[in-house]
């Protein structure tokens, strides 16, 4: 297998999570009697461009094929984050009714709705029909397709649209062909347009051992240096970068056409590159030792769950996120003896089963009826929001647990 960006042969394994089903492939009750498809889950690091990436696998269509159950609008903290972003961007760049905003992976319109409310024309791109339908219901025109140089060219021809702003949040890391994806944005961007992308920062993943961000749909694990390199190859230049708290530490990058002289390059760009270089992000040494650290998380999670089982305690989970499937499948948790059920607020996930572990996903009512002793908060990045919302478990002596980057009870 060769690097998705620079085509150099890959020979350095960064993390091997052995194998698991696709993390969004939740099962309906009737599917529990059917065979389940598992795929290898191994990450390599390229010794030339330091792009961390998943092993070659099924083409992307089959991943998003299934009825995709993640509706962004069910996360109140994501809505809050999106609203603040829209206000910040309008204040900084002055987008108005004469501007065009395009969001790639626009999901159910969770973000574009705020631009629309302020009268800024929007267009979404999303390959998943049922989330796109929810966006259309909010009045947000959505093209149901993958984004890339082909769809970008078609879009220009058919709709005569170019963007003042292209947004992609948690999508850059999820595209199989990152070069073509960035090329597509170059084509769709007006001469003085802005691109912003948010993605989990590789340095946070390594430093804080956030291995449950690893799953099949997540093809690339990105540092600022590598993303800068990918964009430069397509004639795009970074002019700013923000660190944001999503997913345990993400970056928001700002890009423009290389020959667009209307925007100053923030000194933060050079400072950030230096910080990554000083940390060793552009050396192989930085990536060694990660496997040992994630193995320890596995043993600690097991130990905790088995101890509780022996003591006759009940453990449940909260949040049927991809993170949980990585954790449960890497830890080899099967069935309901160690984790009885997982609660999720989204009705699209309830009454289904987690892939691999087959743990049932239920509504919050179950928590109040069963009264578990421990609730594992799976999306640890939302622990403040979730523990506040479920504070009532304290009434029966219930406690919260976080498993990544270490077992922590509170
Ligand atoms: Zn490479």
Q: How far is the CA of 43 from the centre of ligand 1 (A)?
A: 13
Mean pLDDT across 159-183: 94
Q: How far is the CA of 12 from the centre of ligand 1 (A)?
A: 11
Residue 320 tokens read as 């049927």
* Burial (CB count <10 Å: 0-12, 13-18, 19+), residue 247: buried
Question: pLDDT tens digits for 10-46?
Answer: 999 999 999 899 888 889 999 999 999 888 899 999 9
pLDDT band (50, 70, 90) for residue 58: low
Q: How far is the CA of 350 from the centre of ligand 1 (A)?
A: 40
Q: How far is the CA of 325 from the centre of ligand 1 (A)?
A: 28
Q: How far is the CA of 52 from the centre of ligand 1 (A)?
A: 8
Question: pLDDT tens digits for 312-323?
Answer: 999 999 999 888
pLDDT band (50, 70, 90) for residue 66: very low
Q: How far is the CA of 9 from the centre of ligand 1 (A)?
A: 8
User: For residue 177, how far is the Cα from the chain centroid?
Assistant: 16
Higher pLDDT, 298 or 57: 298
Which DSSP helix (H) or strand (E) runs through 368?
helix 365-370
Contacts of 49 (CB under 8 A, 6+ apart): 3, 5, 6, 8, 226, 229
- Residue 389 has φ and ψ, to the nearest 5°, of -65, -35
Q: How far is the CA of 306 from the centre of ligand 1 (A)?
A: 41
Mean pLDDT across 176-195: 96
SS3 28: coil
């Amino acid at each position: 297998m060769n690097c998705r960006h620079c085509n150099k042969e890959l020979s350095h394994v960064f993390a091997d999570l052995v194998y698991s089903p696709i993390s969004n492939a939740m099962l309906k009750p009737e599917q529990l009697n059917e065979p389940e498809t598992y795929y290898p889950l191994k990450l390599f690091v390229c010794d030339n461009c330091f792009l961390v990436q998943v092993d070659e696998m099924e083409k992307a269509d089959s991943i998003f094929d299934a009825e995709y159950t993640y509706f962004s609008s069910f996360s109140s903290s994501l809505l809050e984050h999106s609203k603040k972003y829209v206000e910040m961007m309008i204040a900084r760049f002055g987008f108005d009714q004469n501007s065009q905003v395009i969001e790639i992976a626009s999901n159910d319109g969770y973000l574009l709705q705020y631009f629309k409310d302020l009268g800024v024309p929007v267009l979404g791109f999303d390959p998943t029909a049922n989330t796109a339908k929810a966006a259309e219901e909010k009045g947000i025109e959505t093209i149901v397709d993958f984004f890339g140089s082909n769809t970008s060219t078609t879009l220009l021809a058919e709709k005569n649209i170019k963007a003042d702003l292209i947004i992609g949040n948690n999508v850059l890391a999820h595209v199989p062909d990152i070069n073509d994806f960035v090329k597509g944005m170059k084509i769709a961007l007006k001469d003085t347009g802005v691109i912003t992308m948010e993605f989990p920062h590789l340095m946070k993943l390594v430093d804080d051992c956030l291995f449950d961000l690893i799953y099949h749909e997540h093809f690339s694990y990105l540092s600022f240096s590598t993303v800068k390199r990918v964009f430069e190859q397509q004639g795009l230049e970074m002019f700013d970068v923000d660190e944001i708290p999503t997913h345990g530490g993400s970056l928001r990058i700002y890009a423009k056409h290389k020959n667009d002289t209307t925007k100053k390059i923030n000194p933060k760009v050079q400072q950030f590159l230096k910080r990554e270089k000083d940390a060793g992000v552009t050396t192989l040494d930085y990536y060694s030792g990660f496997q040992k650290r994630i193995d320890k998380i596995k043993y600690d999670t097991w130990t905790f769950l088995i101890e509780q089982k022996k003591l006759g305690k009940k453990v449940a989970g909260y949040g049927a996120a991809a993170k949980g499937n990585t954790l449960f499948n890497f830890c080899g948790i099967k069935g309901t003896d160690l984790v009885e059920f997982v609660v999720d607020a989204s009705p699209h996930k309830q009454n289904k089963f987690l892939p691999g572990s087959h743990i049932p996903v239920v509504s919050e009512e179950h928590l109040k009826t069963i009264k578990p002793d421990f609730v594992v908060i799976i999306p640890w990045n939302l622990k403040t929001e979730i523990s506040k919302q479920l504070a009532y478990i304290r009434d029966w002596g219930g406690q919260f647990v976080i498993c990544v980057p270490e077992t922590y009870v509170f």
